[in-house]
Structure 1
Amino acid sequence: MTELNIDCLNLIFKELRTDRVSLYPCLLVNKTWCSLIVPILWEKHSWCLYHETSEKKLFNIIISSLPSTSKQILTDNNINLPSTIISKPLTFNYISFCKFFESETIDKIIRKLFNDKKLKYNKRNLLEQEIYKLFVSECNNIKELELHTSRPLPSFPGALTFFSNINKLTIKIDCIEPNTLHEMAKFCIYLNELTVHNCSQDNSGLISLIDAQKNLKIVSLYPHNKKKICEGLREAIGRKGGTINNLCLYSINIIPLISLYSLERLLIYNFEYYGGNSIEMKKFLQYLEVSKFPNLQFLNVLGLVCHKELAMLIKNTEGNLLEISISSKRVKSVHVGIFIKSIADNCPKIKNLSFRITPEEFQLIKLILLNCRNLVKIKLDTLYYENDVIVGDELLDDLAKFSPKSLTKLTLSGNWKFSIEIFEKFLESCREHNLILFGITNKTHITEEHKTIARKYVSEGVINEFKILCP
């Protein structure tokens, strides 16, 4: 049989990179196959182990990879290495193949191989330090790094190479010394994505790291439970307005709006850390109302009552929005009306819509249906109490008359009630545009007659699926 050349084998094995079960037997074919497969297995997927025995084998190889100098340091400090480590030289420099690294791996190694409960604080720190040194010195092609340690990694041998290739960084800011981030900023300058956990106040090292980036595109900021506006961080992110196109805020204590003119995706989540009358909230809404994002395509807001401000933001997007998803426990009807009109007037390209309304706005949905002719998916949720009944005939009738042919998914969430006549009229209108999904939550007012009619249209292929969803 003609032997496949190495390039062909490489392509085949890389296609199988997520199929570990198929790759493992290939290791035993010959040395060539083994030398091609081992780097693939060690890139990232070898960390995703759920079997304790396999995990211990992995950790044992990592400890066996420690240089003799590190092993001697540990021995001199009465840190006993596991008896299972491999004393002979390893076949491969396994650590050098890693493209993904997370601090949690080192925590697991210490817990499982060294029983960290019996280690004194200074011994644990020394052990942790030597394992970090191993990765920093040997990993020449790390692409993704999850970091939560106080160890001064930038001062370790090999730090320049280790940090210079990273394009995705996740950090817990409260675990890392500002000076460490200042040092990282000298050579970790090509981040594409940055995620920061536990933001509670300005951090000079983090600001320095952000300022150093050449092409930062995706930023996600998660808060600590302290309520403090991070003005310095806001300004630093604002200075990257030419590159950041994806921003996710899990708190409003950081307000990097207004100047992000390249922004395409904006996600804002407010998990009840700030009340509607707080200084932080008022300031945030002021920023939101005057911000201009001409390239914004995706807008997702959770936990904020700010429809008036969002209406102004939508007006300033220059018609590029493709998806809007707004979820809030409370809405002000007068502001929802302004919000709906803003969508109808300024979102000709919109494809996906999801927001809450009250019955007073049902008639305004017609404006969206008439002006937004590229709609593919609509989800309308309503505010209701347990015993409220929402008569949806007017809304369903407008959907029957004015829905664009592109609309293929419709979900109505709430305590809805529809007359049989209007319900059937809507389904009949779907003959003009095949409906992939028609979902209704709360089955209280969906009778057997409603279900029989829906099944008829499913059997005829007018709609693919009718679902009564859990509220």
Structure 2
Amino acid sequence: MAEICKDLNKLCVYNYSQSVPGLISLIDVQRNLKSFSFSSHIKKGITCEELSTALTRKGRTINNLFLHGSIGVISHSFLTSLINLKDLTIYHDCESYKGIKEFQKYLANSEFPDLNSLGIYDDFLCFKEMAMLIEKTKGNISYFSVYTSNKSAEGTGMLINAISNFCPKIEYLTTYLGPKDLIYVKALLMNCKNLLSLHLNSLNETSDIGDELLDNLTKFSPKSLTYVTISGYWKYSIDAFKKFFESYRERKLLCFNIDNYIGEHFTTEHIDVVKKYFNEEIIVNSNLLF
């Protein structure tokens, strides 16, 4: 294949193992490799350093990168070479502490000035590193999404602040909001005028920030924001619910969802309010209707 296929724009490697012959040669002969996807099921403790080195040699051409299960398998030093990267998606479920620290190090040290899309879905902590990465972009990020099941994550406010200051063109945002992060929400809504979809999760903390969050959304949301998902671990009063929906009376709230809503927080009265605005065609869809 390396002798014949020299002009691949996209290369996808799934279920990678060290037994795949010729892969490094195949990567090396590519003249304009734009997109690289990698998925690994290698046993823990086995590393593939040659793959990282080969990707480093293609650092100037690759602008789309998808990684799944790469932590603890390959070195992520090649990330710092991807100076023209536009789209980065990383999925991990990693038990290797050493591999996590290595990944965080290279993520923080990388610079992707033309980054347009960033999605990181993992079970470890890299909010600080993502914030540092965003601060080195040229402001072209339109899509950002992060997911973690690690309840001890820190730096959520730092990340929101970075998005607020360095992502004026963002349209789709999924991130986490801690109880001390509300100070960043107003600036986020006022600076990011192109927001279409906003999804704010909590790290499973029950708190009383719901009304203040809805108040910020009511007063400062850009006109473009018509898809809203907020956490069910926060408490919301009926009055705050009504004020928020009233702010959409001159436009439609295309989708309003509550993630992980808890019975004690969401009563039949909350649902009745949603149904009222649904019947008035202000809310088009909501998971509370079902």
Gaps of at least 5 residues in structure 2 are none
Q: 2:38 aligns with which of 221, 226, 236?
A: 221
1:202–1:340: structure 2 CA closer, same or farther, 3 Å change rule?
farther
Asked if the contact 2:271–2:288 (Cα under 8 Å) also holds between the matched residues in 1, the reply is no
Q: 1:244 aligns with which of 51, 57, 62?
A: 62
Tell me the equivalent position of 1:266.
88
The one-letter code sitting in structure 1 at the alignment partner of 2:225 is L
Q: 2:100 aligns with which of 264, 281, 289?
A: 281
Indicate the percent of aligned positions where both proteins have the same amino acid: 44
User: What are the equivalent positions in structure 2 for 1:7-406 lying under 5 Å apart?
Assistant: 184-200=1-17, 205-223=22-40, 224-250=42-68, 251-252=70-71, 253-254=73-74, 255=76, 256-275=78-97, 278=98, 280-303=99-122, 304-330=124-150, 334-384=154-204, 388=206, 391-406=209-224
Classify the secondary structure of the residue corresponding to 1:313: helix
Bigger Rg, which one = 1
The one-letter code sitting in structure 1 at the alignment partner of 2:169 is K
Q: Deviations over 1:52-97 (max 9, x none)?
A: xxxxxxxxxxxxxxxxxxxxxxxxxxxxxxxxxxxxxxxxxxxxxx
Asked if the contact 1:203–1:233 (Cα under 8 Å) also holds between the matched residues in 2, the reply is no
Deviation at 1:391, TM superposition (A): 4.4
Asked if the contact 1:333–1:360 (Cα under 8 Å) also holds between the matched residues in 2, the reply is no
Give the paired residue count: 282
Deviation at 1:231, TM superposition (A): 2.8
Q: Distance in 2 between matches of 1:229 and 1:311?
A: 28
Q: 1:453 aligns with which of 270, 273, 276?
A: 273
Asked if the contact 2:94–2:100 (Cα under 8 Å) also holds between the matched residues in 1, the reply is no
Classify the secondary structure of the residue corresponding to 1:416: coil
Deviation at 1:397, TM superposition (A): 0.9
Deviation at 1:368, TM superposition (A): 0.9
Deviation at 1:381, TM superposition (A): 1.1
TM-score by length of 2: 0.89
Tell me the equivalent position of 1:55.
none
The one-letter code sitting in structure 1 at the alignment partner of 2:247 is S
Gaps of at least 5 residues in structure 1 are 1-183
Deviation at 1:390, TM superposition (A): 5.1
Deviation at 1:366, TM superposition (A): 1.7
The one-letter code sitting in structure 2 at the alignment partner of 1:349 is K
Q: Distance in 2 between matches of 1:212 and 1:400?
A: 55
The one-letter code sitting in structure 2 at the alignment partner of 1:259 is S
The one-letter code sitting in structure 2 at the alignment partner of 1:296 is L
1:464 matches 2:284: yes
Deviation at 1:357, TM superposition (A): 2.4
1:261–1:447: structure 2 CA closer, same or farther, 3 Å change rule?
same
TM-score by length of 1: 0.56
The one-letter code sitting in structure 1 at the alignment partner of 2:91 is Y
Higher relative contact order (CA 8 A, sep 6+): 2
Deviation at 1:334, TM superposition (A): 5.0
Asked if the contact 2:65–2:87 (Cα under 8 Å) also holds between the matched residues in 1, the reply is yes
Q: Distance in 2 between matches of 1:334 and 1:226?
A: 27
1:348–1:463: structure 2 CA closer, same or farther, 3 Å change rule?
same
Q: Distance in 2 between matches of 1:187 and 1:357?
A: 50
The one-letter code sitting in structure 1 at the alignment partner of 2:63 is N
1:435 matches 2:253: yes
Classify the secondary structure of the residue corresponding to 1:353: strand
The one-letter code sitting in structure 1 at the alignment partner of 2:27 is I
Root-mean-square deviation (CA, aligned residues, Å) is 2.2
Asked if the contact 1:200–1:226 (Cα under 8 Å) also holds between the matched residues in 2, the reply is no
Bigger helix fraction: 1
1:418 matches 2:236: yes
Deviation at 1:230, TM superposition (A): 3.0
